Amino acid sequence: QVQLVESGGGSVQPGESLRLSCVASESIFNINNMGWYRQAPGKERETVAIITTGGKINYAGFVQGRFTISRGNDKDIMSLQMNSLKPEDTAVYFCAVVTYKGGTFQKYWGQGTQVAVSS
């Protein structure tokens, strides 16, 4: 079973930056898409950014050019550079990878990393 581990979260002030990383326990094949999600207290999990099979990148509207998702190599799956952080960006951030093989999709989640933005 593939395991994903996020890192790079922390507590910062508004306007500062963080870089999140997502590392897999083993090489992942047949990746369909990958992305970052977040869940704030009392809210549902929402998509932050996704890289599709063809390399197309989609960002949520609230990103507004502040975040950059990048695909890594092998087990270093991906990263999320977050600039100009706002208090409303406070949430647990999760990475996820979807594989597709033999007509079956499989989604793997990390355990999440906390991002707190406050003055």
| Segments of the chain scoring below 50 in pLDDT | none
- Per-residue burial over 53-90, b if 16 or more Cβ lie within 10 Å, else e, is eeeeeebbeebeeebebeeeeeeebbbbebeebeeebb
Residue 14's pLDDT is 98
pLDDT at 111: 97
Total residues belonging to the chain: 119
Q: What is the mean pLDDT of the chain?
A: 96
Task: Quote the DSSP letter at residue 110.
Answer: B
